[in-house]
Amino acid sequence: MSDHHEEARLDALYQLKLLDTLASEGFDRITRMASQIFGLPVAAVSLTDRDRQWFKSRVGVEHRSIPRDKAPCAQVAESTQPLVIEDFQADACYADSVLGRAGTRFYAGAPLVTSEGYGLGSLCVLGTEPRKATEAELAALVDLAAMVMAQIELQHAFGRIDPVTGMPTRNQFRD
């Protein structure tokens, strides 16, 4: 990814003012659904910051962020494509990553993509056993990631559009 594209991607992320915000039931509900669909203990809405993966929502994990280096969610954000790692230990790139060293064996992530095409991060699920992802599971994960983006866009737009006139409010021009 070019430096210019990365800076534009980060700018899009920062404009949404999501990083380091409190948990939100709207995001948590989607994260729980992803965990349940895959039958896996860990799921997260992960946003790719300059040097960290920050979790807007998480199930089955206590920490709020991990380093971006060798984080598969960063690859998903950069490529804006889903990613499945069936076995971390068999993947040269991720075997010695923070997640790999913590016992993660399986990862599936679907990108969170803005209308301008910038990857903000991913909705991901993780497990401690190697496995494959079915087409139905991946389709559901992609759909849930789209629901996360709809939630992000709705949250960002709230208070920026007058519900009666449909015109922008002055809040839209404060950024």
- Give the chain's domains with CATH numbers: 3-173 (3.30.450.40)
pLDDT of residue 57: 97
- Tell me what pLDDT residue 175 has: 47
Per-residue pLDDT at 157: 72
Query: Angle, nearest 10°, between helix axes 135-157 and 25-38?
Result: 180
Residues of the chain with confidence (pLDDT) below 70: 1, 158-175
- In degrees, rounded to 5, the angle at the alpha carbon of residue 91 between the alpha carbons of residues 142 and 78 is 45
Please state, as a whole number, how many other Cβ atoms lie within 10 Å of the Cβ of residue 149.
17
Task: Return the closest-CA partner of residue 133 out of 44, 34, 31.
Answer: 34
Residue 156 has what pLDDT?
76
Measured CA to CA, the distance from residue 30 to residue 141 in angstroms comes to 10
Give strand ranges (E) for 15-85: 42-48, 52-59, 65-67, 83-85
